[in-house]
Amino acid sequence: MSDEADDDELAIVVAAAGRLDAAIAAAVPELSRAYVQRLIEDGRVMLAGAVAKKAGARVRVGDAIEVRVPPPEPLEILPEPIALAILHEDADVIVIDKPAGMVVHPAAGHATGTLVNALLHHCTDLAGIGGVLRPGIVHRLDKDTSGVMIATKTERAHASLTAQFAAKSRGEPGGIAREYLAITSPAPPAPTGTLRTLYGRHPVHRKKFSSKVTNGKPAVTHWTIVEPLHDAALVRFVLETGRTHQIRVHASDAGWPLVGDPVYGHKPRDERLAEVAHALGRQALHAHTLAFAHPAPPHARLAFTAPIPADFQRARDALH
Protein backbone atom coordinates (compact mmCIF):
# COMPACT_ATOMS: atom_id res chain seq x y z
CA MET A 1 0.00 0.00 0.00
CA SER A 2 1.07 3.62 -0.47
CA ASP A 3 2.77 5.45 2.35
CA GLU A 4 0.87 8.70 1.74
CA ALA A 5 0.23 10.01 5.26
CA ASP A 6 -3.04 11.76 4.46
CA ASP A 7 -4.80 8.76 2.91
CA ASP A 8 -7.42 7.00 5.00
CA GLU A 9 -6.64 3.26 4.82
CA LEU A 10 -9.56 0.89 5.42
CA ALA A 11 -9.41 -2.86 6.00
CA ILE A 12 -12.58 -4.77 5.06
CA VAL A 13 -13.56 -8.41 5.42
CA VAL A 14 -16.23 -9.41 2.92
CA ALA A 15 -19.52 -10.33 4.65
CA ALA A 16 -21.48 -11.44 1.58
CA ALA A 17 -20.39 -12.79 -1.78
CA GLY A 18 -20.92 -10.57 -4.83
CA ARG A 19 -19.28 -7.69 -6.68
CA LEU A 20 -16.21 -5.94 -5.30
CA ASP A 21 -17.62 -2.41 -5.54
CA ALA A 22 -20.90 -3.47 -3.91
CA ALA A 23 -19.06 -5.19 -1.05
CA ILE A 24 -17.03 -2.06 -0.29
CA ALA A 25 -20.06 0.26 -0.49
CA ALA A 26 -21.99 -2.06 1.83
CA ALA A 27 -19.16 -2.16 4.36
CA VAL A 28 -18.50 1.60 4.23
CA PRO A 29 -21.85 3.43 3.70
CA GLU A 30 -20.05 6.78 3.61
CA LEU A 31 -18.63 5.80 0.19
CA SER A 32 -21.04 5.74 -2.72
CA ARG A 33 -20.72 2.91 -5.20
CA ALA A 34 -19.79 5.36 -7.96
CA TYR A 35 -16.98 6.77 -5.82
CA VAL A 36 -15.78 3.25 -4.97
CA GLN A 37 -15.57 2.52 -8.70
CA ARG A 38 -13.35 5.58 -9.16
CA LEU A 39 -11.09 4.38 -6.35
CA ILE A 40 -10.76 1.01 -8.08
CA GLU A 41 -9.96 2.69 -11.40
CA ASP A 42 -7.27 4.76 -9.63
CA GLY A 43 -5.63 1.63 -8.22
CA ARG A 44 -6.58 2.42 -4.63
CA VAL A 45 -8.21 -0.93 -3.84
CA MET A 46 -6.44 -4.21 -3.12
CA LEU A 47 -8.15 -7.61 -3.10
CA ALA A 48 -6.35 -10.57 -1.52
CA GLY A 49 -3.08 -8.64 -1.60
CA ALA A 50 -3.22 -7.59 -5.26
CA VAL A 51 -4.38 -4.35 -6.84
CA ALA A 52 -7.98 -4.79 -7.98
CA LYS A 53 -8.57 -4.09 -11.67
CA LYS A 54 -12.34 -4.40 -12.07
CA ALA A 55 -15.23 -3.05 -10.01
CA GLY A 56 -17.23 -6.14 -10.94
CA ALA A 57 -14.64 -8.60 -9.68
CA ARG A 58 -16.28 -11.39 -7.69
CA VAL A 59 -15.58 -11.58 -3.97
CA ARG A 60 -16.27 -14.37 -1.48
CA VAL A 61 -17.16 -14.28 2.20
CA GLY A 62 -14.01 -13.71 4.23
CA ASP A 63 -11.99 -12.10 1.42
CA ALA A 64 -9.71 -9.29 2.60
CA ILE A 65 -10.03 -5.89 0.93
CA GLU A 66 -7.87 -2.84 1.51
CA VAL A 67 -9.07 0.58 0.41
CA ARG A 68 -7.01 3.74 0.31
CA VAL A 69 -9.25 6.82 0.39
CA PRO A 70 -7.54 10.12 -0.47
CA PRO A 71 -8.42 13.31 1.40
CA PRO A 72 -11.16 15.35 -0.29
CA GLU A 73 -9.89 17.72 -2.94
CA PRO A 74 -10.43 21.43 -2.33
CA LEU A 75 -13.12 23.05 -4.44
CA GLU A 76 -12.25 26.02 -6.65
CA ILE A 77 -15.47 27.77 -5.68
CA LEU A 78 -14.73 30.16 -2.84
CA PRO A 79 -16.70 30.34 0.42
CA GLU A 80 -18.56 33.61 1.00
CA PRO A 81 -20.04 34.93 4.27
CA ILE A 82 -23.63 35.05 3.03
CA ALA A 83 -26.39 34.81 5.63
CA LEU A 84 -28.54 31.68 5.46
CA ALA A 85 -31.96 30.99 6.95
CA ILE A 86 -31.31 27.51 8.35
CA LEU A 87 -34.33 25.34 9.14
CA HIS A 88 -32.34 22.27 10.24
CA GLU A 89 -28.76 21.06 10.31
CA ASP A 90 -27.01 17.90 11.45
CA ALA A 91 -23.89 15.94 10.49
CA ASP A 92 -25.44 14.72 7.20
CA VAL A 93 -27.76 17.40 5.86
CA ILE A 94 -28.61 21.07 6.01
CA VAL A 95 -32.10 22.40 5.22
CA ILE A 96 -32.39 26.07 4.32
CA ASP A 97 -35.01 28.59 3.30
CA LYS A 98 -33.63 29.93 0.01
CA PRO A 99 -34.57 33.54 -0.73
CA ALA A 100 -35.79 34.59 -4.15
CA GLY A 101 -32.93 36.00 -6.22
CA MET A 102 -30.30 33.53 -5.02
CA VAL A 103 -28.80 31.16 -7.60
CA VAL A 104 -28.17 27.65 -6.26
CA HIS A 105 -24.85 26.83 -7.96
CA PRO A 106 -22.19 28.98 -9.69
CA ALA A 107 -22.68 29.14 -13.45
CA ALA A 108 -22.09 31.52 -16.34
CA GLY A 109 -23.05 34.99 -15.15
CA HIS A 110 -23.32 33.89 -11.52
CA ALA A 111 -19.81 33.08 -10.33
CA THR A 112 -20.39 34.36 -6.80
CA GLY A 113 -23.20 34.99 -4.34
CA THR A 114 -24.71 31.54 -4.78
CA LEU A 115 -26.09 29.08 -2.27
CA VAL A 116 -23.02 26.87 -2.71
CA ASN A 117 -20.71 29.81 -1.89
CA ALA A 118 -22.75 30.42 1.26
CA LEU A 119 -22.77 26.75 2.28
CA LEU A 120 -19.00 26.44 1.85
CA HIS A 121 -18.56 29.29 4.34
CA HIS A 122 -21.15 28.01 6.80
CA CYS A 123 -20.44 24.26 6.79
CA THR A 124 -17.12 23.67 8.49
CA ASP A 125 -17.74 19.93 8.84
CA LEU A 126 -18.08 18.90 5.19
CA ALA A 127 -16.94 15.31 4.69
CA GLY A 128 -16.64 15.59 0.91
CA ILE A 129 -18.92 14.39 -1.86
CA GLY A 130 -17.46 12.26 -4.62
CA GLY A 131 -13.98 12.98 -3.34
CA VAL A 132 -14.42 16.76 -3.48
CA LEU A 133 -14.84 18.96 -0.43
CA ARG A 134 -18.22 20.46 -1.29
CA PRO A 135 -21.87 20.48 -0.26
CA GLY A 136 -23.94 18.03 -2.27
CA ILE A 137 -26.68 19.74 -4.26
CA VAL A 138 -29.34 17.09 -4.86
CA HIS A 139 -32.09 19.34 -6.23
CA ARG A 140 -32.55 22.94 -7.29
CA LEU A 141 -34.97 25.80 -7.11
CA ASP A 142 -35.09 28.41 -9.85
CA LYS A 143 -33.26 31.63 -9.03
CA ASP A 144 -36.50 33.52 -8.45
CA THR A 145 -38.34 30.75 -6.62
CA SER A 146 -38.13 30.97 -2.84
CA GLY A 147 -38.45 28.26 -0.23
CA VAL A 148 -37.17 25.12 1.41
CA MET A 149 -34.14 23.27 0.02
CA ILE A 150 -31.85 20.53 1.27
CA ALA A 151 -28.12 20.05 0.69
CA THR A 152 -25.97 17.14 1.81
CA LYS A 153 -22.71 17.16 3.74
CA THR A 154 -21.59 13.51 3.44
CA GLU A 155 -21.27 10.87 0.75
CA ARG A 156 -23.89 8.74 2.51
CA ALA A 157 -26.40 11.57 2.56
CA HIS A 158 -25.69 12.52 -1.04
CA ALA A 159 -26.30 8.96 -2.26
CA SER A 160 -29.50 8.62 -0.24
CA LEU A 161 -31.08 11.95 -1.19
CA THR A 162 -30.05 11.63 -4.84
CA ALA A 163 -31.87 8.30 -4.96
CA GLN A 164 -34.94 9.75 -3.24
CA PHE A 165 -35.19 12.68 -5.68
CA ALA A 166 -34.63 10.36 -8.66
CA ALA A 167 -37.47 8.14 -7.45
CA LYS A 168 -39.66 11.24 -7.13
CA SER A 169 -38.89 12.25 -10.71
CA ARG A 170 -40.05 8.82 -11.82
CA GLY A 171 -43.29 9.29 -9.90
CA GLU A 172 -42.59 6.54 -7.37
CA PRO A 173 -44.46 6.82 -4.04
CA GLY A 174 -42.72 7.48 -0.73
CA GLY A 175 -39.44 9.27 -0.20
CA ILE A 176 -39.54 12.93 -1.16
CA ALA A 177 -42.74 14.97 -0.73
CA ARG A 178 -42.97 18.60 -1.81
CA GLU A 179 -45.69 21.23 -1.62
CA TYR A 180 -45.58 24.67 -3.22
CA LEU A 181 -47.69 27.78 -2.89
CA ALA A 182 -48.30 29.94 -5.93
CA ILE A 183 -50.52 32.76 -7.13
CA THR A 184 -52.10 32.01 -10.50
CA SER A 185 -54.13 34.29 -12.75
CA PRO A 186 -56.87 33.54 -13.44
CA ALA A 187 -57.87 31.05 -10.78
CA PRO A 188 -58.05 27.35 -11.72
CA PRO A 189 -61.50 26.28 -12.93
CA ALA A 190 -62.29 24.05 -9.94
CA PRO A 191 -61.45 23.91 -6.21
CA THR A 192 -59.06 20.99 -6.75
CA GLY A 193 -57.72 18.88 -9.57
CA THR A 194 -54.82 17.08 -11.21
CA LEU A 195 -52.76 17.86 -14.28
CA ARG A 196 -51.45 14.65 -15.83
CA THR A 197 -49.50 15.06 -19.08
CA LEU A 198 -46.43 14.16 -21.07
CA TYR A 199 -43.56 16.56 -20.54
CA GLY A 200 -40.48 17.63 -22.48
CA ARG A 201 -38.59 20.39 -24.25
CA HIS A 202 -40.69 22.95 -26.10
CA PRO A 203 -40.63 21.99 -29.79
CA VAL A 204 -39.72 25.54 -30.85
CA HIS A 205 -38.28 27.38 -27.83
CA ARG A 206 -35.64 24.87 -26.74
CA LYS A 207 -34.82 26.64 -23.45
CA LYS A 208 -38.43 26.20 -22.37
CA PHE A 209 -40.47 23.14 -21.44
CA SER A 210 -43.96 22.10 -22.49
CA SER A 211 -46.71 19.73 -21.41
CA LYS A 212 -48.15 19.77 -24.92
CA VAL A 213 -45.64 17.39 -26.47
CA THR A 214 -46.35 14.15 -28.30
CA ASN A 215 -43.32 12.40 -26.84
CA GLY A 216 -41.99 12.94 -23.34
CA LYS A 217 -41.86 11.78 -19.76
CA PRO A 218 -44.99 11.66 -17.58
CA ALA A 219 -45.62 14.63 -15.30
CA VAL A 220 -48.31 14.81 -12.61
CA THR A 221 -49.23 17.90 -10.58
CA HIS A 222 -52.05 18.07 -8.03
CA TRP A 223 -53.54 21.44 -7.16
CA THR A 224 -55.98 22.91 -4.61
CA ILE A 225 -57.25 26.47 -4.35
CA VAL A 226 -56.32 27.82 -0.92
CA GLU A 227 -57.81 31.29 -1.29
CA PRO A 228 -59.65 33.15 -4.08
CA LEU A 229 -58.07 36.51 -4.96
CA HIS A 230 -58.75 39.38 -7.34
CA ASP A 231 -58.70 37.79 -10.81
CA ALA A 232 -56.34 35.23 -9.26
CA ALA A 233 -56.00 32.56 -6.58
CA LEU A 234 -53.56 31.31 -3.99
CA VAL A 235 -53.01 27.69 -5.02
CA ARG A 236 -51.28 24.77 -3.31
CA PHE A 237 -49.40 22.48 -5.69
CA VAL A 238 -48.26 18.97 -4.79
CA LEU A 239 -45.76 17.32 -7.11
CA GLU A 240 -46.14 13.65 -7.89
CA THR A 241 -43.20 13.87 -10.32
CA GLY A 242 -40.31 16.31 -10.34
CA ARG A 243 -39.72 17.82 -13.78
CA THR A 244 -37.87 21.08 -14.44
CA HIS A 245 -40.29 24.05 -14.27
CA GLN A 246 -43.15 21.56 -13.83
CA ILE A 247 -45.55 23.78 -11.86
CA ARG A 248 -44.86 26.83 -14.00
CA VAL A 249 -45.40 24.91 -17.23
CA HIS A 250 -48.44 22.94 -16.11
CA ALA A 251 -50.20 26.04 -14.81
CA SER A 252 -49.37 28.07 -17.92
CA ASP A 253 -50.40 25.37 -20.38
CA ALA A 254 -53.65 24.89 -18.44
CA GLY A 255 -54.48 28.58 -18.98
CA TRP A 256 -53.76 30.00 -15.51
CA PRO A 257 -50.05 30.95 -15.40
CA LEU A 258 -48.23 32.11 -12.31
CA VAL A 259 -48.39 35.83 -11.61
CA GLY A 260 -45.11 37.52 -12.53
CA ASP A 261 -43.65 34.55 -14.42
CA PRO A 262 -41.28 36.13 -17.00
CA VAL A 263 -40.96 32.95 -19.07
CA TYR A 264 -44.30 31.14 -19.02
CA GLY A 265 -46.61 33.99 -18.01
CA HIS A 266 -48.06 37.01 -19.74
CA LYS A 267 -48.57 40.68 -18.96
CA PRO A 268 -51.90 41.02 -17.09
CA ARG A 269 -54.59 43.15 -18.69
CA ASP A 270 -56.04 44.00 -15.29
CA GLU A 271 -54.27 47.13 -13.99
CA ARG A 272 -54.31 46.05 -10.35
CA LEU A 273 -52.89 42.66 -11.20
CA ALA A 274 -50.26 44.21 -13.46
CA GLU A 275 -49.09 46.46 -10.62
CA VAL A 276 -48.80 43.49 -8.27
CA ALA A 277 -46.81 41.47 -10.81
CA HIS A 278 -44.47 44.41 -11.43
CA ALA A 279 -43.91 44.98 -7.73
CA LEU A 280 -43.23 41.29 -7.12
CA GLY A 281 -40.70 41.15 -9.94
CA ARG A 282 -40.61 37.34 -10.11
CA GLN A 283 -42.88 34.32 -10.47
CA ALA A 284 -45.20 33.98 -7.48
CA LEU A 285 -43.91 30.55 -6.48
CA HIS A 286 -42.72 29.40 -3.06
CA ALA A 287 -41.47 25.93 -2.05
CA HIS A 288 -43.48 25.67 1.14
CA THR A 289 -42.75 22.20 2.55
CA LEU A 290 -40.24 19.41 1.98
CA ALA A 291 -40.32 15.94 3.54
CA PHE A 292 -37.71 13.20 3.15
CA ALA A 293 -36.25 10.11 4.81
CA HIS A 294 -33.12 11.00 6.75
CA PRO A 295 -30.07 9.24 5.29
CA ALA A 296 -28.80 8.02 8.68
CA PRO A 297 -30.37 5.07 10.52
CA PRO A 298 -33.14 4.73 11.61
CA HIS A 299 -34.02 6.82 8.53
CA ALA A 300 -36.64 8.92 10.30
CA ARG A 301 -39.02 10.86 8.09
CA LEU A 302 -38.53 14.60 8.52
CA ALA A 303 -40.61 17.51 7.21
CA PHE A 304 -39.79 21.23 7.11
CA THR A 305 -41.78 24.32 6.21
CA ALA A 306 -40.45 27.62 4.91
CA PRO A 307 -42.64 30.58 5.89
CA ILE A 308 -44.20 32.68 3.14
CA PRO A 309 -41.69 35.45 2.27
CA ALA A 310 -42.59 39.12 2.61
CA ASP A 311 -42.75 39.91 -1.13
CA PHE A 312 -45.09 36.98 -1.78
CA GLN A 313 -47.29 37.97 1.17
CA ARG A 314 -47.50 41.58 -0.08
CA ALA A 315 -48.67 40.33 -3.47
CA ARG A 316 -51.25 38.14 -1.80
CA ASP A 317 -52.50 40.97 0.42
CA ALA A 318 -52.72 43.38 -2.52
CA LEU A 319 -55.02 40.96 -4.36
CA HIS A 320 -57.46 40.41 -1.48
The runs of H, that is alpha helices, within the chain are 20-27, 33-41, 115-122, 155-169, 246-254, 271-280, 310-318
Q: Which among 92, 97, 142, 311 is annotated as catalytic?
A: 142
Q: Is 205 helix (H, G, I), strand (E, B) or coil?
A: coil
> Helices 271-280 and 310-318, interaxial angle, to 10°?
170
* 126 touches 30 (CB < 8 A): no
Question: How many C-beta neighbours within 10 Å does residue 138 have?
Answer: 23
Looking at the chain, how many residues does it have?
Answer: 320
The CA–CA distances, whole Å, from 140 to 146, 149, 220, 258 equal 11, 7, 19, 19
- Closest by CA position to 220, among listed 234, 235, 238: 238
**Whole-angstrom Cα distance, residue 297 to residue 103?**
32
Decide if 142 is catalytic: yes
Q: Which residues are catalytic?
A: 142
